[in-house]
Chains A and B, each alone.
Chain A
Amino acid sequence: MTEGLPLLKVERLCKSFGDHQVLKNIDLAIAAGEVTCIIGPSGSGKSTLLRCLNYLEVPDSGAVYLNGEPIGVRWRGDKLYQMSFNELAVQRRRMGMVFQGFHLFPHKTALENVIEGPVVVKGENKADAVHRARALLDKVGLADRADYYPHHLSGGQQQRVAIARSLAMQPELMLFDEPTSALDPELVGEVLAVMRKLAEEGMTMAVVTHEMGFAREVCSHVVFMDEGMIVEEGAPASVLGRPQHARTQAFLARLQ
């Protein structure tokens, strides 16, 4: 990593769906090893922002840099070109993503889900990939569920397999899009515990979440978004503890 440069940088990012402007000039920087939580009311644009980071949504304008390299576009001389899907795929390998709806591959077992990326995308030797995948499943506490198909796993277990599947690609950065929002309340803890462990190991993470406890305890940086803008950001103690902005105060008060 280039010294002094944030791992991920977002500059003047804008995105509209039809007439509705979802992101208005977003600027954001995430340093390596930092856990950034993005919070805010529904429709504030936080999921869209996360999806713009790996170009699942293509921004209308603005730029995203990973280690100083622009995402989704490429300079050739003094001309800027849009990347093709397959060029973009090479960049996407560097960012893992975990979805609200898990999206495990239903026709593959937990283990097959985890080795899919390394074997198919990186061309890793299958035996090595299986070996690493078992270690990852063990890490998320599912060593004994390796041969289960997703529909035989609980939501919490599926999400933990999804985390292992992303980690198998050895990403530089992990994106979490409301990872616990689709879970029954009693299953939220097991997923957050895995994420907490990842954070302790120094993984750089961007987490869109409604779990204020997680934001307070695990995050190093909290971003509060409303109506497509970053209203307030900083250390959790200040944003969640002593919010400066009226909209942040109102949002946090509603959660109580």
Chain B
Amino acid sequence: MPTKRPDIHAVRPIPVRRPTTWIGGLILLILVAAFVRLLVTNENLQWKVVALYLFNPEILTGMGRTLLLTFLAMIFGLAIGVVLAIMRLSQNPVFRAASWGWIWFFRGVPPLVQLVFWYNLALLIPTVTVGIPFGPLLWSGSTNLLITPFSAAILGLSFTESAYAAEMIRGGIQAIGIGQTEAAATLGMTRLQILRRIVLPQALKILIPPIGNDTISMLKFTSLVSVLALPDLLYSAQMIYSRTYQTIPLLIVATIWYLVLSTTLTFVEHYIETRVYGRATSPLAALVGSFKSWFRLRAFQP
């Protein structure tokens, strides 16, 4: 039966056929086409209105506020998180318990509830005083003056972030081998020197991808502040559509900007990662590398 075969060394084997790629691709193509048709033909989307408001100053200011909130909440959250993580790993049982309690509380209470709570803090504590407990009073002021929508938002968002960051940073610190601490200790370093010079720099390097991830999460979490009537990106869009009743187009404007921001942050994170992990020699190579690492998916090959 076999015809005359070519020499095995002279031919390349025909690759394994993958029919699922074609079937899946076809189904996806149909769905995408249907979705595009919806986008094009549904007049309720009102693309002209979208275009009109995309660069509206109110929207752009709101976007700036969204970014500001994101970065401030991340900076405060990470700073508190580092302290919490160190306390959590401390030999002092009081520090350990305090850190555990903070993480337990702020990871357990929804950020939305916290935002409303912080905003209404004056109902609980009408005046804020600074002084020595049970001693002389140094400063006193109305809570309502201190708690603006913005400060309430920063408190709620950064405290939530601090609880998640603490656990993440603790993991990073614990990933650094005990040998590093021992080597530093034999040089005669103090606890703080070991932490600051040896352990944290290595831990933070490991933590770049999860910190980037948290930043993108935070970008979206900031939209919660619209309940405090704080004009971020979402609330700016809401203010416009409450006047014009063009709800869907303005939500699309907000969606577009959220996607632009989160995509930008993704690239920034990949860029930093590529630079820090030393895979790139120039900024351009790092940028190219970040594109590649974002798109490249390694197939699961058992």
Q: Which residues of A contact B (CB under 8 A)?
A: 54, 56, 85-86, 89-90, 92-93, 95-97, 99, 101, 103-107, 116-117, 120-121, 162, 165-166, 169, 175
Contact present for B187 and A116 (CB under 8 Å):
yes
CB of B198, distance to nearest CB on chain A (Å): 6
Contact present for A96 and B202 (CB under 8 Å):
no
Give the chain A neighbours of B182 by CB distance below 8 A: 56, 97, 99, 103
CB of B201, distance to nearest CB on chain A (Å): 5
Interface secondary structure of A, over-half rule: mixed
Closest to A94 in B: B188
CB of A151, distance to nearest CB on chain B (Å): 10
Residue B121 interfacial (CB < 8 Å) = no
Question: Of A101, A105, A175, which is within 8 A of B198 by CB?
Answer: A105
Closest to B202 in A: A107
Closest to B183 in A: A103
Closest 10 CB pairs of A and B: A93-B188, A103-B183, A117-B187, A97-B186, A103-B179, A86-B190, A121-B188, A92-B188, A89-B188, A89-B190
Interface residue tally for chain B (C-beta within 8 Å): 19
Complex Cα spacing A166 to B185, Å = 11
Known: A85-B185, A105-B184. 12 other contacts (CB 8 A): A54-B186, A85-B190, A86-B190, A95-B186, A99-B179, A103-B180, A104-B183, A107-B202, A120-B197, A121-B193, A165-B187, A169-B188
- Interface residues in B160-206 (C-beta closer than 8 Å to A): 177, 179-180, 182-191, 193, 197-198, 201-202, 205
CB of B237, distance to nearest CB on chain A (Å): 44
CB of A179, distance to nearest CB on chain B (Å): 13
Complex Cα spacing A24 to B198, Å = 35
Using A116-B197, A120-B197 as known contacts, say yes or no to A105 and B190 having CB atoms under 8 A apart.
no
Give the chain A neighbours of B186 by CB distance below 8 A: 54, 56, 92, 95-97, 166, 175
Contact present for B201 and A120 (CB under 8 Å):
no
Contact present for B189 and A89 (CB under 8 Å):
yes
CB of A155, distance to nearest CB on chain B (Å): 14
Complex Cα spacing A175 to B182, Å = 13
Give the chain A neighbours of B202 by CB distance below 8 A: 105-107
Contact with A along B195-232 (1 / 0, CB 8 A): 00110011001000000000000000000000000000
Give the chain A neighbours of B190 by CB distance below 8 A: 85-86, 89
Complex Cα spacing A54 to B179, Å = 15
Complex Cα spacing A90 to B186, Å = 10
Closest to A88 in B: B185
Using A99-B179, A103-B179, A120-B193 as known contacts, say yes or no to A90 and B188 having CB atoms under 8 A apart.
yes
Give the chain B neighbours of A107 by CB distance below 8 A: 201-202, 205
Give the chain B neighbours of A104 by CB distance below 8 A: 183
Complex Cα spacing A217 to B161, Å = 60
Give the chain B neighbours of A105 by CB distance below 8 A: 180, 183-184, 198, 202
Question: Of B188, B191, B201, which is within 8 A of A117 by CB?
Answer: B188
List 11 interface pairs A-B (beta carbons < 8 Å), by A numbering: A89-B189, A90-B188, A93-B188, A95-B186, A99-B179, A105-B202, A120-B189, A120-B197, A121-B188, A165-B183, A169-B188
Complex Cα spacing A166 to B183, Å = 9
Greatest chain A CB density within 10 A among B185, B187, B198, B202 is at B187
CB of A154, distance to nearest CB on chain B (Å): 18
